């Protein structure tokens, strides 16, 4: 007997007050049709109501693959717990996602967990343990002393607790039951065995199924096709049918944002420069080139979302991967691909031409085990105490994503971004840079709006190294604070750097080296 049902049937399985779990990574592996069906049912019937949604990371792009924005409806959504939120401006409407409005207007209970915790928590649910315990996140916004991951004042329950165990402090995430899980795969047979031959990532699909079944819940998979039973190798079926109650066939599901299906994300061949996007010359390219100078062959390097993920692209453009030299580098992201070239923008998370893939939980085991000695991450704010913020700033509240786990466990850190934002315009010529129009928003601030990671604590207590890379200057984090160690040709240190900071560097290198002119080359 087949387990195949329709998306509308799947939506009918949810009851008022349920906790619904799902996962996608931006546009990758998002069960968009299932989430849309829940919203459509609520629009037609006013039910189910008061749901809690659990998304281990940002699910959907909020544009063409709307993901969790489908269910961002007052009355339908009571609470959301997510490892990250998606904040883009719509390219045509120039509006923020509906979920951001609900959070900004305090219409729902919204909690933000580090993705590492949101992944590993599922393992604890699956084995029916009381919760997940970790030191990662102490001293950040996830710490109850700094908010406990609460993004709205409607949040009254403490979903993260500060505990002491054997004389040390830990963060503890108590488990709670999951009633329904929506996951995605490529193919299903009549029994529900799922394979992922078309998917660039696995994320936490298996973990969601295991956790939900441990709670006595229902698991529904969205797939591209139905296949005959006993026609695939066992090792290709990553989720066994005993964990799947139903599946829904959606033949036209997108692989990812702006990508119906591109086999280069599955591996089997190298990503050559001719298939890779190229950055125009500007501040972002200068920063990416400077970050690339920190990347070493033979060392596993992990890249976060934002400006840092452009570094591998400029390395390819500059010929560092020619004649098979890409094999000298090992690049990854928080979502599990190894090898190939990390992509930026809406294709971030997957790699072009990968050689191997871990699922989401195993990847954070890899990260938390210290196996990514070098990390390049973006920054939105950096303050006088050397706290970095990417989780809540201005009109954006994206959460931490994998930032906290990555930053905590790397040995060498670089943080990338423009010096200011909001209308910044730079002119690049003659091996240097000049500021035509300064950005209206300062990013080096006296006190960050959020503490996503306390960088100086890592430098002092765990021997980390950390640099802040911008288009006009390079800083180094030292035990005493932030030191200015490089400046671009054409930049006036007082006018363009010191007067654009809300605090003074503790030290300015003397003499002050110039940034390489090659960074500014056409």
Give the tens place of pLDDT for each residue, 105-137.
999 999 999 999 999 999 999 999 999 999 999
Please tell me the least confidently modeled range out of 75-89, 147-161, 203-217, 425-439: 75-89
CATH architecture of the region 263-520: 3-Layer(aba) Sandwich (3.40)
Rounded to 5 degrees, φ, ψ at 341 are -120, 125
pLDDT computed for residue 96 by the predictor: 86
Q: Return d(Cα 88, Cα 224) in angstroms, integer.
A: 27
From the list 2, 4, 6, the residue with the least C-alpha distance to 34 is 6
Tens digits of per-residue pLDDT, 154-181? Answer: 999 999 999 999 999 999 999 999 999 9
Segment (H or E) for 99: helix 98-104
Q: Return d(Cα 127, Cα 210) in angstroms, integer.
A: 9
Q: Return d(Cα 288, Cα 341) in angstroms, integer.
A: 14
Tens digits of per-residue pLDDT, 45-76? Answer: 999 999 999 999 999 999 999 999 999 999 99
- Alpha-carbon dihedral angle through residues 9, 109, 21, 339, given to the nearest 10 degrees: 130
| pLDDT reading at 87 higher than 90 | no
Confirm whether pTM is higher than 0.85: yes
pLDDT computed for residue 93 by the predictor: 80
Does residue 39 have a cis bond before it (omega within 30 degrees)?
no
- Alpha-carbon dihedral angle through residues 478, 482, 487, 493, given to the nearest 10 degrees: -140
| pLDDT reading at 307 higher than 90 | no
Helices 115-126, 205-214: axis angle to 10 degrees equals: 40
Residue 128: Cβ within 10 Å count:
10
Residue 425: Cβ within 10 Å count:
12
Tens digits of per-residue pLDDT, 372-396? Answer: 999 999 999 999 999 999 999 988 8
E-strand ranges in 256-327 read: 300-303
Please tell me the least confidently modeled range out of 51-55, 176-180, 254-258, 283-287: 254-258
Q: pLDDT-derived band of residue 259, with 50, 70 and 90 as boundaries? A: confident
**Which residues are identified as catalytic?**
334
Residue 462: Cβ within 10 Å count:
11
CATH architecture of the region 7-128+138-155+178-249: 3-Layer(aba) Sandwich (3.40)
| pLDDT reading at 473 higher than 90 | yes
| pLDDT reading at 43 higher than 90 | yes
The DSSP code sequence of 149-218 is TB-STT--S-SSEEEEETTEEEEEEE-----EEEEE-SEE-TT--EE-TT-S--TTHHHHHHHHHHTT-E
The Cα angle at residue 263 between residues 257 and 268, in degrees rounded to 5: 140
Q: pLDDT-derived band of residue 207, with 50, 70 and 90 as boundaries? A: very high
Q: pLDDT-derived band of residue 8, with 50, 70 and 90 as boundaries? A: very high
Rounded to 5 degrees, φ, ψ at 101 are -65, -45
Sequence-distant (6+) residues with CB within 8 A of 315 are 292, 295, 321, 329
Q: Return d(Cα 310, Cα 277) in angstroms, integer.
A: 10
Computed over every residue of the chain, the mean pLDDT equals: 96
Segment (H or E) for 477: strand 473-478
Tens digits of per-residue pLDDT, 227-249? Answer: 999 999 999 999 999 999 999 99
Cα distances from 318 to residues 166, 279, 375, 413, in angstroms, run 51, 11, 21, 23
pLDDT computed for residue 330 by the predictor: 95
pLDDT computed for residue 336 by the predictor: 97
Tens digits of per-residue pLDDT, 426-461? Answer: 999 999 999 999 999 999 999 999 999 999 999 999
Give span(s): CATH 3.40.1080.10, the chain: 7-128+138-155+178-249, 263-520
- The residue-averaged pLDDT of 25-30 equals 96
- The residue-averaged pLDDT of 477-496 equals 98
| pLDDT reading at 89 higher than 90 | no
pLDDT computed for residue 346 by the predictor: 87
Lookup: tokens for 337: 């691909």
| Strand 465-469 relative to strand 374-378, pairing | unpaired
Please tell me the least confidently modeled range out of 288-297, 306-315, 417-426, 507-516: 306-315
How far, in whole angstroms, is CA 135 from its chain's centroid? 20
pLDDT computed for residue 275 by the predictor: 83
| pLDDT reading at 15 higher than 90 | yes
């Amino acid at each position: 007997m087949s387990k195949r049902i329709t998306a509308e049937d799947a939506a009918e399985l949810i009851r008022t007050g349920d906790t619904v779990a799902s996962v996608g990574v931006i546009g990758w592996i998002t069960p968009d049709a299932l989430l849309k069906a829940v919203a459509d049912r609520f629009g037609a019937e006013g039910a189910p109501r008061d749901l809690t949604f659990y998304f281990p990371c940002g699910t959907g792009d909020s544009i063409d693959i709307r993901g969790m924005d489908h269910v961002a409806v007052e009355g339908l959504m009571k609470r959301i717990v997510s490892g990250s939120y998606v904040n883009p401006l719509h390219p045509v409407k120039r509006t923020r996602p509906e979920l951001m409005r609900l959070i900004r207007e305090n219409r729902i209970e919204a909690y933000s967990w580090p993705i590492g915790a949101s992944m590993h928590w599922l393992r604890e649910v699956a084995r029916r343990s009381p919760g997940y315990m970790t030191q990662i996140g102490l001293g950040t916004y996830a710490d109850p002393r700094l908010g406990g991951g609460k993004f709205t004042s409607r949040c009254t329950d403490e979903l993260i607790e500060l505990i002491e165990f054997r004389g040390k402090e830990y963060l503890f995430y108590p488990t709670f039951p999951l009633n329904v899980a929506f996951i995605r795969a490529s193919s299903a047979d009549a029994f529900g065995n799922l394979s992922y031959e078309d998917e660039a990532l696995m994320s936490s699909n298996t973990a969601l199924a295991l956790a939900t079944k441990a709670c006595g819940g229902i698991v529904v998979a969205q797939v591209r096709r139905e296949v005959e039973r006993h026609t695939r190798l066992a090792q290709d079926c990553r989720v066994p049918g005993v964990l799947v109650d139903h599946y829904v066939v959606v033949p036209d599901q997108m692989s990812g944002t702006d990508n119906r299906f591109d086999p280069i994300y599955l591996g089997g061949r190298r990503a050559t420069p001719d298939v890779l996007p190229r950055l125009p010359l500007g501040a972002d390219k200068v920063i990416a080139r400077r970050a690339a100078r920190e990347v070493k062959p033979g060392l596993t390097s992990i890249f976060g979302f934002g400006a840092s993920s452009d570094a591998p692209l400029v390395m390819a453009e500059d010929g560092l991967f020619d004649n098979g030299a890409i094999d000298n580098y090992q690049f990854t992201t928080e979502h599990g691909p190894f090898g190939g070239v990390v992509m930026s923008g809406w294709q971030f998370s997957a790699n072009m031409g990968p050689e191997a893939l871990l699922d989401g939980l195993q990847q954070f085991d890899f990260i938390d085990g210290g196996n990514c000695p070098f990390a390049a991450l973006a920054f939105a704010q950096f303050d006088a105490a050397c706290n970095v913020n990417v989780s809540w700033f201005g009109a954006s509240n994206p959460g931490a994503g994998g930032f906290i786990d990555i930053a905590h466990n790397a040995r060498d850190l670089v943080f990338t971004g423009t010096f200011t934002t909001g209308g910044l315009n730079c002119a690049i010529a003659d091996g240097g840079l000049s500021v035509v129009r300064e950005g209206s928003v300062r990013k080096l601030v006296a006190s960050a709006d959020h503490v996503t990671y306390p960088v100086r604590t890592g430098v002092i207590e765990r021997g980390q190294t950390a640099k802040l890379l911008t288009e006009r200057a390079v800083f180094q984090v030292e035990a005493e604070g932030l030191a200015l160690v490089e400046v671009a040709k054409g930049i006036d240190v007082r006018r363009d750097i010191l007067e654009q900071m809300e605090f003074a560097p503790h030290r300015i290198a003397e003499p002050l080296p110039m940034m390489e002119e090659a960074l500014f080359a056409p």
